[in-house]
Amino acid sequence: MWTELIVFLSQTLFNIFKVLEIKYTYQNKIGPLLLNSVWINLVSLVSVYYSIDNLFKGNFIVIIFYISGSVVGKYLGMKLDNPENQIWKKLFNGKTKTNSRRTSSH
């Protein structure tokens, strides 16, 4: 059961990072994009290793965890992309899109 949990979590993180990759590419933020790319590759390796290993052992239930982790990751990634979400205030010290619009108009 631990390997299924690892696959689920790594797929979730992978998809969150993929959503952030699109965001950073669009915003032309090279530094965060490159760091994000490292994380994408690390969690991808973990996910693929444990998934393939389990499939070779005949544990096909891992496919459910792989796909569900992917769906949950995309959902969370899109939720994190919402500028009103509190996570942005924690990550970027209160500098969200709406805050930057307010400060630039004054």
Q: CA–CA distance from 29 to each of 10, 12, 21, 23, 94 (Å)?
A: 24, 23, 10, 9, 18
Q: Which pLDDT belongs to residue 50?
A: 94
Question: Tens digits of per-residue pLDDT, 29-51?
Answer: 999 999 999 999 999 999 999 99
At a CB cut-off of 8 Å and minimum separation 6, what does 54 contact?
3, 4, 7, 62
Give the range among 34-38, 65-69, 76-80, 91-95 with minimum mean pLDDT.
91-95
Does residue 100 surpass a pLDDT of 80? no
The whole-number average pLDDT for the span 8-16 is 95
